[in-house]
Amino acid sequence: MNLYVKNALISVSNKKNLISLLKVLKKFNINIISSGGTYASIKKLGYKCTELSKYTGFEEMLDGRVKTLHPKIHAGILHDRQNKKHKNEMSKKNFPPIDLIVVNFYPFQKIVTNTKNSKKIIENIDIGGPTMVRAAAKNFKNVNIITNRNDYELLIKELEALKGRTSLKFRELMSSKAFGLTAYYDAMIANWFNKKLKIEFPERKTIFGRRLQNLRYGENPHQKSSLYVSDYEDRKLGFTQINGKELSYNNYNDMFAALQILDTLKRNSGTVIIKHANPCGVSENKNPLISFKNAFISDPISAFGGVIACNYKITKKIAKEINKNFLEVILAKGFDKGSLELLKSKKNLRIIDISNFKLKNLSSIKSYAGSFLVQSKNNIIIDKKKLKCVTKLKPNKKDIAEIQFAFNVCKHVRSNAIVLCNNFSTIGIGAGQPSRLDSCNIAVQKAKKFQPSKIKHSIAASDAFFPFADGINALINAGVKTIVQPGGSIRDQEIINAADKAKIKMLFTGIRHFNH
């Protein structure tokens, strides 16, 4: 059903692109109602407009908190044009219909990112705008609702094509967008209050997100995918792509895994190599080039086609090392001119500058079949107060630092997880096995294959306790001299005895790091 647009109400905090819309409204003799800054802007642009207070006969009050909340406005929006009773009531009150609402909200989102002043933030919670939007969206059968200035062009094309009218299909589409916006807006406000009041798990959880881009496909070509940003700054992720193809779903998944680990490497230059969301090489060193080489040699076969993240600037020397291998993505805190010239020679290599990226402490969410699990992020590495050496041999200061490094990497590996380290670099990683013994054997196998000389005196970290002594025996037999694990098994004493017999060091953290 195509309907003529006779009266429009425009109330926008963002005045951009308004003139293009005003031109077409004038062309089809559509009356405009507005107030405040929007009214002044329309008049300044040279277009006729009725001031809202004159239209309603009611002056706005309470510093503008009450202006569009008026029966003449909401009856004009909500009445059913096909309902005789509605038409009679509107006629008796002399309330004309309002056929088009163009609204965008107070910039709550912008204010939240720029100030911590609660009073200012609360004053920028829009009431009248969302109320009008919901009313118009409910009555899409009769009313047009535009909530995004990017949709002005669609409205203009619709009015031009239908000579001042709009189609039901168009009105329904705009209605769905409008309800999406009000839900998003309210979710942001609810989340702000929850954060302010330190409510981590509210009774009703709303997750807001703006689509940043459609991705080519999901994990596999037959799956669809999009990237959303759930943050008050929702138009960027904080990093810049300099070169290469568009990022895929799997690229982003690996990048996020890499950035989480990278954020924990603060002692020295850190390098993280990710493949299928699992680390296959992690290293810290004062020298960035050595850090890169050590991370890569941890498992060079798995690193093929992987994602590398570095907390340092890429130089020409490091770029030469990168170019020796096939990689999907390189993330770093800047690139010098020489390195970019080399790296850009590989046209498909995605080069990402993360100089301005900040990892925010958001919740972890997993969804399935109409439900979702929410948990706080696993931010603990080792609680030194709970760290307990359970063997006769005790660690020195350097051992403690490397134990912390190994256990930190371990918490980012899919369970069951075993990580072998030597001199602040991984040398073997066993990930995602149903059996902890299998993970031990895989980690040892990797180390023997690529760096057999470094197994001796290496450190092994386990994300959970060893249920039997077979796992630690596999590590001891390979040459591991220090094991760090949470402890808590009913066979802990049996395992401690095996460690003492082999004359190795074992520490209990009291912290489990499952990562499923």
Active site residues: 138, 276
C-alpha to C-alpha distance for 475 and 292, rounded to whole angstroms: 26
State how far the alpha carbon of 147 is from the alpha carbons of 104, 136, 237, in Å. Answer: 5, 11, 24
Sequence-ordered list of residues with C-beta below 8 angstroms from that of 3, at least 6 positions apart, any chain: 81, 99, 142, 165, 166, 171
Instruction: Count the residues in the chain.
Output: 516
What is the Cα–Cα distance from 254 to 272, expressed in whole angstroms? 11
SS3 label, residue 199 = coil
Dig out the tokens for 441 from the structure: 């054997």
DSSP annotation string for 131-162: HHHHHHHHTTTT-EEE--GGGHHHHHHHHHHT
Cis bond before residue 416 (omega within 30° of 0): yes
Instruction: Say whether 422 sits in a helix, a strand or coil.
Output: coil
List, in sequence order, every residue forming a beta bridge with 100; answer none if it has no partner.
Answer: 8, 144
CA angle 301, 304, 305 (to 5 degrees): 155
Are the C-beta atoms of 268 and 288 separated by less than 8 Å?
Answer: no
458: phi then psi, degrees, rounded to nearest 5: -80, 170
Interatomic CA distance for residues 107 and 119, integer angstroms: 14
Which segments of 311-396 does DSSP mark as H helices, in order?
A: 316-322, 337-343
User: How is residue 246 annotated by DSSP?
Assistant: P
In this structure, the number of other CB atoms found within 10 A of the CB of residue 96 comes to 16
User: How far apart are the C-alpha atoms of 151 and 407, rounded to whole Å?
Assistant: 51
Q: Is 466 left (phi over 0), alpha (psi -120 to 50) or beta?
A: beta
Residue written as tokens 């460690």?
499
| H or E element, residue 508 | strand 505-508
Report d(CA 481, CA 463) in Å as an integer: 18
Q: Are strands 364-368 and 371-375 parallel, antiparallel or unpaired?
A: antiparallel
**Which SS3 state, helix, strand or coil, does residue 237 take?**
coil
